[in-house]
Amino acid sequence: MSSIVVVQHVLAEGIGRIEPLLRDCGIDIDIVRPDAELDPTAVHKTSGVIILGGPMSVYDADRYPRLRVEMQLIENALKSQIPILGLCLGSQLLAAALGSQVRPGPSKELGWYEVTPEDRAKGDLLFKGMPARFKALHWHGDIFDLPSGALHLARSAMTKCQAFSYGTSAWGLLFHLEAGIPEVQAMTAAFPDEIRASGTNPEDLMADTVREEPETARLASTLFGEWVQLVKVRDPSPASTRTQR
């Protein structure tokens, strides 16, 4: 049975546009909720791992002990070359597992800003179909340097390392291409003070989201579709049940 483990940090942040791509390929989705126990050996029973975003930081492990377990899960997946997709906080955890220091950036990057893929991204499995520039939702305050041995895939005007890959099975994306209108609505409702503190307001953020929806939905299908196919190839057995715990 093809299945993936999805590690969630807050209920407001889910897999969004990735879910229908997985469902269409018959891949089971095991969502580990924020208050659920996480088994770091679960990677040995799955075909892929997605680590989602959240408001905490990698260096907040004393306050959020499960982050250490997530690092173990990521390290196990890396050793077994199980496909990993880290989104926002997930990309920071992946970078940290690969030896990079995650630290506060000079300012919070929150809103719809341009992403520029590197020239080398043209040969990357996920980024090969992406345009020379595209808009994406950014919602982070922490940054990291490119991990040793990783391939730098994209940047923004504010943040040098917006995306990277490691080997043939791991990708970290600091931006939120998975988030469509419903997901941004949920995040906006959950964190309105954070939005205003960044210098914008929830109404403007939603207006930008609606404007960017058609193009970003298409790009998300292109990029995440490649990752889903990688998972499917690893274990092509069909499945139709979605589990949550």
Give the start-end residues of each E strand in 118-236: 134-144, 151-155, 163-166, 170-173
Strands 151-155 and 163-166: antiparallel
Q: Quick check: is 152 in a domain?
A: yes
Q: Are 5 and 69 in contact (CB under 8 A)?
A: no
**How would DSSP label each residue in 31-75?**
EE-TTS---GGGGGG-SEEEE---SS-GGGTTT-THHHHHHHHHH
CATH number at 156 reads 3.40.50.880
- The dihedrals phi and psi of 60, each to the nearest 5 degrees, come to -95, 25
Q: Quick check: is 138 in a domain?
A: yes
The encoded tokens of residue 110 equal 């929150």
Catalytic residues: 88, 176, 178
Domain count, the chain: 1
Q: Quick check: is 241 in a domain?
A: no
| pTM of the complete model | 0.94
Q: Quick check: is 134 in a domain?
A: yes
Q: Quick check: is 32 in a domain?
A: yes
pLDDT tens across the length of the chain (245 residues): 589 999 999 999 999 999 999 999 999 999 999 999 999 998 888 999 999 999 999 999 999 999 999 999 999 999 999 999 999 999 999 999 999 999 999 999 999 999 999 999 999 999 999 999 999 999 999 999 999 999 999 999 999 999 999 999 999 999 999 999 999 999 999 999 999 999 999 999 999 999 999 999 999 999 999 999 999 987 544 443 344 44
Q: Quick check: is 242 in a domain?
A: no
Domain holding 182, by residue range, is 3-236
Q: Are 84 and 94 in contact (CB under 8 A)?
A: yes
